[in-house]
Structure 1
Amino acid sequence: MSAVVGIAGLTGKFAQCVAKELQAYPNVTIKGFCRSPQKLPQAALEKYKIEVIEGEFDDEAAVQKFVRGTDIVICCYFGDPDVMTRGQKILVDACGKEGVPRYLPSDFAVDYTKIPAGELFPKESAKIVKNYLVEKNVAGVHVLVGGLIETFWSEFYHIFDPNTQTITYWGTGDEKWDLTTYETAAAYTAALAVDKNASGVFRFRGDCKSVSEIKEIYEKIYQSPLHLKRLGSLDELYSTVKDEFNNGPNNVTAWAPGCFAYWCTNGVAHLGDNLNNKDYPNIVPVDMEGFLKAHKMEDISIADRHLGF
């Protein structure tokens, strides 16, 4: 069975991981959309036979040209609220006009369907777009994976300091994180893209570990100490995030990392145990131990930079 898969935001690392994972499926054609095709390596585009449509996220004519003829559009945008909300609405509108039956939005986060309305959440666009898909009668394919393992170790969260080998955390240290690697999340995304019957909310997980458990795994693999530093309670984290948001709501880099950490660990937005991993048994998710074994200790904080083409 042939399929044409559109990937919006192709210059992003996750988008490129999805494109690579789609190579496991025969008779799949990929169309990419981005504003700067020159940033993409030509050799990779030829290798994966990707047709690229150039355009800004709000260029409606270019977007419509991009989605035309696709069986599903995967959004891999990552940007400000305008890109994440209005940009995705433009994609959904184009899917409606061109008769594209399914749209996979840029979710890839905790289970936001469980977060109460009105609560501060950095990807509020996910809730908005989910409702918008229902309004427009385009089938949504929602991929929830918790936190991304590479991002957990990167400078984004301000959790891990590679210079001192220290993890800073809020809470008791025993709160569980749902964690999935980019490539595992991309593998499940690709599987959903080619499964034309797939629609609705899907929950996939690579691992579920607390920082205390992560410390044990790290020290076993690297034979080097990992220090833990407690910053306060989860309630104190929530207050800190709210203060940062009130002081500068548009300064997302200031409050979003702590806000993500809060929803990753407070239990409300956990993926739960009814996962969809079992629906795609050919995919073997990478857990925290597998991730660390695959990387040198000095490389884990920059692992996200080496993804993609």
Structure 2
Amino acid sequence: MASKFVAVAGATGGLGQLVAMELVKRGMPVKAIVRPNTDPLRTEKLRNSGVTIAPVGLDAIPALTGELSGAICVVSTLQGLGDVIHTAQGKLLEASMAAKVPRFIPSDFSLDFTKTKIGSNRNLDLRREFHNELKKSGIAWTSILNGGFMDLLVGNSPMVNHKTHKVAYIGSTTQPLDFTTMVDTAAYTAEVAIDPNPTPNFLRIASHTVNVKDIAQAQSNVEGVTYNQSWMGTVGSTELMIRVMRLFGGENDVFPAWQGMQYMVNMFSGAGKLDPLDNNRYPDLTWTKVEDFFREHKNKKY
């Protein structure tokens, strides 16, 4: 492989694969760090696009360090709980430091957890805790915060019910909500990874900032049927419901029902709002509006 490349961990996942493809599109050689014995079908698209596949365990620090040597950036798109965000990603960071990689992009891709209250969102807390290791590492790092993935608004969405033609919300219909498509997030991440200039520790992006009324109107325009807002309670009552639901388990699940509710609380309270946005850092990028996204995905099966 060429001495100059970007390594992507988690490249067989949805976002990781998109990041790898965006890097290839920009002419940057890519090395995908995948688990040993990964099904070849999961890496076929990457290999066909010219991505180098590196099967190596994240706990095999010497081998991992060797695979990362020469990388200009390591992008982590690993997803999971503490064993992934803390332990596995921690090993990836350790190997990146040993390989003297100049830039590390952690797997944050979320609401602004620098502003949310500790304990209000388990998955955001895991990311916040990992930043303690980043700060001690000495490596240059950049966290990309993109709000909610717009992709979660289509298909079997927790917010949009196509049978009842309703958009669920808590709190107020006028609360601004940040959404970014996975494609837009991947394109921005690729730009950060190959940026020859120093990048800030935090970059905040949103394809489109909308409220619940905007989402309902966009669905109405696309589907030709009126979508209405459906109030599910206050932010406070939802927080109380979360506490009750956690008594019945789900702590070992990546996304139990109450975890989704925690994201809703963070979004509809305004606590996780992204401000200011850094969309203009890379002026050649374009951003997807909610209605255009709905129209693009109208006939897709999920």
Paired AA for residue 256 in structure 1: Q
Separation of aligned partners in 1, 2:178 and 2:217:
17
Q: When the two structures are superposed, what TM-score results if normalisation uses the length of structure 1?
A: 0.89
Structure 1: segments with no counterpart, 5+ residues: 303-309
The answer to which of 15-24 and 104-113 deviates more is 15-24
SS at match of 1:71: strand
Q: Which residue of 2 aligns with 1:123?
A: 124
Q: Which residue of 1 aligns with 2:135?
A: 134
Paired AA for residue 184 in structure 1: D
Q: Which residue of 1 aligns with 2:144?
A: 143
Does the C-alpha gap of structure 1 residues 190 and 287 become closer, same or farther in structure 2, counting only changes over 3 Å?
same
1:282 aligned to 2:284? yes
Q: Deviations over 1:186-218 (max 9, x none)?
A: 110000000032241001111111111111111
Q: Which residue of 2 aligns with 1:307?
A: none
Contact kept? 2:166, 2:230, Cα under 8 Å: yes
Between the aligned residues of both structures, percent identity stands at 25
Q: Deviations over 1:21-79 (max 9, x none)?
A: 113323x110001221523253x234421111113443434432332221111001112
Contact kept? 1:57, 1:83, Cα under 8 Å: no
Q: Which residue of 2 aligns with 1:158?
A: 158
Q: Which residue of 1 aligns with 2:177?
A: 177
1:86 aligned to 2:87? yes
Contact kept? 2:134, 2:141, Cα under 8 Å: yes
Separation of aligned partners in 2, 1:102 and 1:153:
34
SS at match of 2:185: helix
Does the C-alpha gap of structure 1 residues 41 and 34 become closer, same or farther in structure 2, counting only changes over 3 Å?
closer
Does the C-alpha gap of structure 1 residues 147 and 8 become closer, same or farther in structure 2, counting only changes over 3 Å?
same
Separation of aligned partners in 1, 2:24 and 2:52:
14
Contact kept? 1:102, 1:199, Cα under 8 Å: no
Q: Does 1 or 2 have the higher relative contact order (CA < 8 Å, sep 6+)?
A: 1
Q: When the two structures are superposed, what TM-score results if normalisation uses the length of structure 2?
A: 0.91
Q: Which residue of 2 aligns with 1:229?
A: 230
Separation of aligned partners in 2, 1:104 and 1:41:
22
Separation of aligned partners in 2, 1:3 and 1:196:
12
Separation of aligned partners in 2, 1:85 and 1:247:
25
Paired AA for residue 259 in structure 1: Q
SS at match of 2:122: coil
Q: Which residue of 1 aligns with 2:213?
A: 212
SS at match of 2:71: coil
Q: Deviations over 1:65-113 (max 9, x none)?
A: 3322211110011122211111111111111111011110011100111
Separation of aligned partners in 1, 2:246 and 2:271:
20
Contact kept? 1:37, 1:52, Cα under 8 Å: no
Contact kept? 1:130, 1:140, Cα under 8 Å: no
Paired AA for residue 229 in structure 1: S
1:256 aligned to 2:294? no
Alignment of 1:52-63 (within 5 A): 52-63=53-64
Q: Deviations over 1:259-285 (max 9, x none)?
A: 11111221112002x211111110011
Does the C-alpha gap of structure 1 residues 37 and 99 become closer, same or farther in structure 2, counting only changes over 3 Å?
farther
Which stretches of structure 1, 4 residues or more, deviate above 6 A after TM superposition?
none
Contact kept? 1:146, 1:178, Cα under 8 Å: yes
Q: Which residue of 1 aligns with 2:295?
A: 293
Paired AA for residue 293 in structure 1: R
Paired AA for residue 143 in structure 2: H
Q: How many residues align?
A: 296
Separation of aligned partners in 1, 2:51 and 2:200:
25
Separation of aligned partners in 1, 2:63 and 2:229:
49
The RMSD of aligned alpha carbons is 2.1
Does the C-alpha gap of structure 1 residues 138 and 216 become closer, same or farther in structure 2, counting only changes over 3 Å?
same
Separation of aligned partners in 2, 1:62 and 1:237:
46
1:25 aligned to 2:26? yes
